[in-house]
Structure formats: structure tokens, C-alpha cells
Amino acid sequence: MPLIDVFNGDADGLCALHQLRLADPADSELVTGPKRDISLLKRVQARAGDRITVLDIALSKNREALDRILEAGAVVRYFDHHQPGDIPTHPHFEPHIDTDANVCTSLLVNRYLQGRHLAWAVTAAFGDNLADAARQAAAPLNLSVEQLAQLQSLGECLNYNGYGETLDDLFYDPAELYRQMRPFADPFAFIAESAAYRTLKAGYREDMTRAVALDATEARAAGRIFMLPAEKWARRISGVFGNQLAVESPTQAHAVLTAKRGGGYVVSVRAPLVAKSGADELCSQFDTGGGRKGAAGINHLPDAEVGRFIATFFAVFSRS
């Protein structure tokens, strides 16, 4: 019976799949891509009896493909924390969906597995910029401050690898990065032994150094907006730069607009960490926009829409 694992290419998607396959080892077809490539189910050609696991991609963006797959007779289990729209009721569909702002997909998988691979869920929560939730979840592990910092660094590096316009922007295809993670039940062993982690950590440090040297394009009490150039380093760092800005100034909202080679921008939005709301409301007002309350994005913002985006950004977050 064919197995197909469909997962977001960021830390949350990677660690969610890793937990499941540590608990239930199996060879499967891997369907993934850069973090913003979320319409992944359209790439799945399912047949009756196929078992498909979907991790960390919005159901609302994949509903048509999901309906097609279920009609074909496949069995689908779906773990996610984004706004789902209408959740189908079907005998072959098993949803595990929770949109709470302090939950990520890997924490949902951890709940499903009753904590069997908790350290990887903690890693993912750190990568998804849910540091408080990560530390709270980690309590049963009795980790030191240094160990928590190691998991945070790993989560941030795995997340960093997911950002880019195409796979060519990334250090690793997420499917290959998962294969490198797969032998390691212990994330601390991966940290100690993995060449991939060292590569990502060095790249993260270099790209972030460039990003933090930039001044905000627009800065007000409610938030700050940064604009990055159409270069590989900027496409890689855009999301995790937004996360760092949010941590540095938790009462402000942040937007990072990264120029695209053909014109327009990719947008990452982070709501104030003290509120964790408004990001999805803002981004859903633009074509190709979506996400969750605390963090959302727009895959293509035309140049002509930048002014409206900035005005809407401050309108949404000045109410917070």
C-alpha cells in the first residue's frame, strides 16, 4: 500500500514528519518544496488504498486537491495549525487541526504521539518562533539552559533553510534535509554530528549579519517595515529575520518585503508577540496572502500594491 508524505519544507514540517517516521518507520514518497510552496497536494496523483499524511500546509489552500484525492479512494490524515476553511467530513479523512496561536504542527504531532519524540517538537516550536510554547513543552525533558539554546539554534536553522523563491535559493532541498535528519532520534546527536547543521548555521549567521545592517523603511509605534533586495541571501533570511525582529521588539508588528527578480515582493508578516493576532487578517486582504494569526505572508505583492500594503499594515496593527 503506497505511502506518501506531504510536508512543508520548514522546521515545523520537517520535525513533524521526523517524529511520525521515528514512531512508525517506513519508506514513503516525499512531496515538499520551499516553505512558501504550500499548494503541495496538487502534485499528488493518488489511487485507491494510498495512505497520505499531510503536514503543515493550509487545508484552505489545498481543498480542491484534497477532495480529488479522497474521491480517488486514498486515506488522508492531516496535521496543521493554519486557518483551514471548511473541514471536510469523510470516512477516509482524519484531521488533526488546531489554529491556536501557541501551537505548531509538530506540537500537534507530539500530542498525537503522546510525547514519544518531544525534543524534535520543541525544536520545531523554536523554529516557528514559538519560544514560550517550546520552553513550556520542554519541561518534562529537564533540559539545561544551554541545551534549550541548542534546540533553538537547530530549529532556527532548519526553518531558515526553507525560505527561498525556488529550491535553488536553499542550501538543501527539504526532502534531502529530512533524509539527513532521519537517522537521528536525538536532535543533540544531529547537532553534534551533522555537516548539514554546520552548513546551515554558518549560512544563517552570514545572511543575518547582512539583514541586521539594514534600516527600517518605515517605523512607527505600531510596527516596522523592512525592504530587502532581490538577492539569494535576502530570500533565504526573510522569514527568520522577521522572527528575530519580533523577538527584539515584541510589542511591535513587523513586515519584511523581499524584492522578487521579476518585480514585486514576497512578504513575511509577524504580529506583535505580546498579542499574536492580526497577521492573517492583514495578508488575506491581498491576492496570494494567507497564514495564521501570529505569522503570515504574501507570495506576490505587486509593486503597485506596496502603498496599500503599508497603509493596511499600520491600520491593522494600530488597533492592537
Give the residue from 241, 273, 279, 280 showing the smallest Cα distance to 257.
241
Q: Which residue is it, cell 499594515?
A: 313
Res 99 pLDDT > 70: yes
159-193 as b/e, with b when 16 or more CB fall inside 10 Å?
A: bbbbbbbebebbbbbbbebbeebeebeebeebbee
Q: What is the pLDDT of residue 27?
A: 95
State the pairing for strand pair 51-55/218-220.
Answer: unpaired
What's the average model confidence in pLDDT over 113-123?
98
pLDDT band with cut points at 50, 70 and 90 for residue 241:
very high
Percentage of residues of the chain with pLDDT beyond 90: 96
> Is the dihedral angle over the CA atoms 315, 164, 38, 6 positive or is it negative?
negative
State the pairing for strand pair 218-220/223-228.
Answer: antiparallel
Res 111 pLDDT > 90: yes
Q: What is the pLDDT of residue 64?
A: 97
What's the gap between Cα 25 and its chain centre? 24
Residue 62 CA: distances (Å) to CA of 6, 40, 124: 11, 7, 23
Mean pLDDT over the full length of the chain:
96
Question: Virtual CA dihedral for 182, 184, 186, 189, nearest 10 degrees?
Answer: -140
Q: Give the Cα separation of 267 and 298 in Å (integer).
A: 5
Q: What is the pLDDT of residue 145?
A: 98
Q: Give the Cα separation of 185 and 187 in Å (integer).
A: 7
**pTM, full prediction:** 0.91
Could you read off the pLDDT of 9-34 as tens digits, one per residue?
Answer: 999 999 999 999 999 999 999 999 99
Q: What is the pLDDT of residue 319?
A: 75
pLDDT band with cut points at 50, 70 and 90 for residue 189:
very high
Q: What is the pLDDT of residue 320?
A: 59
Which DSSP string corresponds to 248-261? HSTTSEEEEEEE-T
What's the average model confidence in pLDDT over 194-212?
97
pLDDT band with cut points at 50, 70 and 90 for residue 83:
confident
Could you read off the pLDDT of 140-152 as tens digits, one per residue?
Answer: 999 999 999 999 9
pLDDT band with cut points at 50, 70 and 90 for residue 292:
confident
